[in-house]
Structure 1
């Protein structure tokens, strides 16, 4: 299987997703439409991953590359291809499915507990810890199932079309290296300095084993996501 990956920032890459795809025998190509690369041909890949990126959906006058990216997301939704969005990518998918995307009440950064939703079809523990880096949130799209919630964000993700489409507000793909790069180069989401749900650098990096514990969660999520289409 060949997976297309859309990246929006040099400091918010696929991280452990790239290692997982390679280890499972899948190939992937990373595209950067935000710096002027030509849009990919959706037909040349078997699945699409839309990574995290800048806060705010914004408009196409400010981010002209969004026009092509939104078209790709709509085509993936219509083409029966597996589609996964993380952070900014999940917000774009939620928007494409008609859900509201807006600025959340508070910023949420660092490590926080996620409680799996009672009806979530995703094969994850009932509670788990995930990495957060957002202020923007999204509502649940029509015909979607909620993945789970945290204290600060009542919706941490969703699945749609029997698991073929997955949107995650939280991050399971991060590694110590990717988060260190993020902290070195990316300003925290707006309001982080006053949010009770935002952690500082020291708290985020104080236990490297947290990143190791994300690996089996990511494996379970990605395996189920890609299997959802193969089982049809």
Structure 2
């Protein structure tokens, strides 16, 4: 399979996703929308992955390419190819499905436990720790199943159309290098200073094993997702 990856910011890259695709025999192309690269044609690939970004899903004035991306997402949802969104990418899919997207009560930054929803169609541990970097959240779209929730965000993900379309608020793909990049070059999500769910940089980086523990979770999730709708 050949996957299209849409990147919205120089500091929110694909992380381990790129290496996972290569290791599994899949090819991929990264489209840097933030650098004014045009989004791909859906017909040229076998699946679509939307990465995170710091902007709001309707921030068209500052990011006019968001309109073209929304059209691409709509086509993907009405098609048959696998679609994955992470962070802002998940919020864009949720919005296209008619779900409410907006600012959450608290920012979530750092490492937080996710409890798997009983209805989740994906086989993951009942509890696992994921990396968080957000304030904006989404409601569960109609006809979607929840993946799980955290203390700060009850909806951490959703699966739609039998899991062909998957949205994740949390991050399983990040490496220590990715998080170093965020902490150094990207503004922390709004409200991080006041949030009880936002950790300081030294706590986030204190245990490097956390990053290693994400790898099998990512493998487990992507392996199930990519076979939900073979192209």
Q: TM class by shorter-chain length?
A: over 0.9
May I ask how many residue pairs the two structures share in their alignment? 231
Q: Structure 1 stretches of 5 or more lacking a match?
A: none
The secondary structure found in structure 2 opposite 1:206 is coil
| Counterpart check, 1:210 vs 2:210 | yes
User: What is the Cα-based RMSD across aligned positions, in Å?
Assistant: 1.0
For 1:134 and 1:66, the matched residues in 2 are separated by 19
For 2:154 and 2:215, the matched residues in 1 are separated by 24
Contact 2:5 2:51 in 1 (8 A): yes
The secondary structure found in structure 2 opposite 1:229 is coil
Alignment of 1:80-159 (within 5 A): 80-159=80-159
Contact 2:111 2:129 in 1 (8 A): yes
Deviation at 1:62, TM superposition (A): 2.7
Task: Output the TM-score relative to the length of structure 1.
Answer: 0.97
For 1:72 and 1:199, the matched residues in 2 are separated by 35
CA shift digits 1:16-44 (9 cap, x unpaired) = 00010000010000002232212211101
* Stretch deviating more after TM superposition (18-27 or 36-45): 36-45
For 2:55 and 2:3, the matched residues in 1 are separated by 25
Q: Structure 2 stretches of 5 or more lacking a match?
A: none
CA shift digits 1:139-198 (9 cap, x unpaired) = 000000000000000000000000100000000001111111111100100000010000
Task: Output the TM-score relative to the length of structure 2.
Answer: 0.98
Contact 1:56 1:103 in 2 (8 A): no
The secondary structure found in structure 2 opposite 1:147 is strand
| Counterpart check, 1:57 vs 2:57 | yes
Corresponding residue for 2:180? 180
The secondary structure found in structure 1 opposite 2:227 is helix
